[in-house]
Amino acid sequence: MSHSAKASALFGVMGEYSCEHDVVHAAKKMYELGYRKMDGYTPFPVHGLDTAIGRGRTKLPMLVLAGGIAGACGGLGMMLFSSTIHYPINVAGRPYFSWPMFVPIMFECTILLASLTAVFGMLGLNNLPEPYHPTFNVPAFLRASSNTFFLCVESTDANFDVEKLKADFAATHAEGVYEVPT
């Protein structure tokens, strides 16, 4: 098998660590070595690992803000439309658009839309649900949800070279290095 054929059959090369500090340091080192397409796999969110692999901030908060504004405007708009345009009822001469009475529902609509955006935005940006992913092909990956920390450099990386990667991972004291088949 030629080198390029092998590379294309791989999703990436993965190193295994038993401590969150080790995986953060390994990620920093791999980044220094010029690897960019990488991802960590950890049983809980590891502080600093996202910046170590060179990920910027997520745009989720902006989406949630937009969702909240849409909820507020939608809720208020619905009540404005129905009570002044579509079905105005004169109750004891009170104004049709008595906005202080509309605040509670507007507030609830804001929270509802913002929360739905937060959850479905997170799932959508993360591309979940995702029934198949190559990382699950590594048997040791079962421990990723328990007490083991993984760092995977993906084959789409410009510097991807299986043998060099294995050596680089070994230099970061990975306790196991695995090829990840697609």
Partner 1 sequence: MSVAAEKPAKKTGLHEGEVWDDYLGAPHTYASVGDKISNVVLTTKVPKLWPVMIAVGLLGTMSLMYAVSVLLAKGVGVWGNNVPVGWAFDIINFVWWIGIGHAGTLISAVLLLVKQQWRTSINRFAEAMTLFAVACAGMYPALHVGRPWLAYWLLPYPNTMGLWPQWRSPLMWDVFAVSTYATVSLLFWYVGLIPDLATLRDKAINKPARFIYGFLSLGWRGSTVHWSRYTVAYLLLAGLSTPLVVSVHTIVSFDFSVGITPGWHATIFPPYFVAGAVFAGFAMVLTLGIPLRHVYGLKDLITGRHLDVMAKVMLTTGLVVGYGYLTEIFLAWYSGDHFEWYMMKNRFFGPYAFVFWLLMLCNIAAIQPLWFKPVRQNIIALFVISMFVNFGMWFERFMIIVMSLHRDFLPSSWGMYTPTHVDIAMFAGTIGFFLLLFFLFVRALPMISIMEMREYVSIKRGDKAASADWKPYKPAVDGEPQPVVVPGGAIAGQHREPGVPQ
Q: Is 142 in the site for partner 1 (CB under 8 A)?
A: yes
Q: Is 70 in the site for partner 1 (CB under 8 A)?
A: no
Q: Is 118 in the site for partner 1 (CB under 8 A)?
A: yes
Q: Is 66 in the site for partner 1 (CB under 8 A)?
A: no
* Min dist. Cβ of residue 50 to partner 1 (A): 4
* Min dist. Cβ of residue 141 to partner 1 (A): 8
Are 68 and 51 spatial neighbours (Cβ–Cβ below 8 Å)? no
Alpha carbon separation from 115 to 68, 108, 120, 150, 162 (Å, rounded)? 8, 11, 9, 31, 43
Site stretch for partner 1 (CB under 8 A), options 1-9, 127-135, 156-164: 127-135
- Residues 112-117: contacts with CB under 8 Å, at least 24 apart: 112/71, 113/67, 113/68, 113/70, 113/71, 113/74, 114/64, 114/65, 114/67, 114/68, 114/71, 116/67, 117/63, 117/64, 117/66, 117/67, 117/68
Q: Is 87 in the site for partner 1 (CB under 8 A)?
A: yes
Interface pattern 15-34 for partner 1 (x via CB under 8 A): ---xxxxx-xxx--------
Q: Is 50 in the site for partner 1 (CB under 8 A)?
A: yes
Q: Is 108 in the site for partner 1 (CB under 8 A)?
A: yes
Site stretch for partner 1 (CB under 8 A), options 5-13, 154-162, 166-174: 166-174
Alpha carbon separation from 87 to 13, 70, 77, 79, 84 (Å, rounded)? 64, 23, 14, 10, 7
- Only one residue has tokens 């060179």, namely 54
Q: Is 62 in the site for partner 1 (CB under 8 A)?
A: no
* Min dist. Cβ of residue 5 to partner 1 (A): 25
Q: Which of 8, 133, 156, 181 binds partner 1 (CB under 8 A)?
A: 133
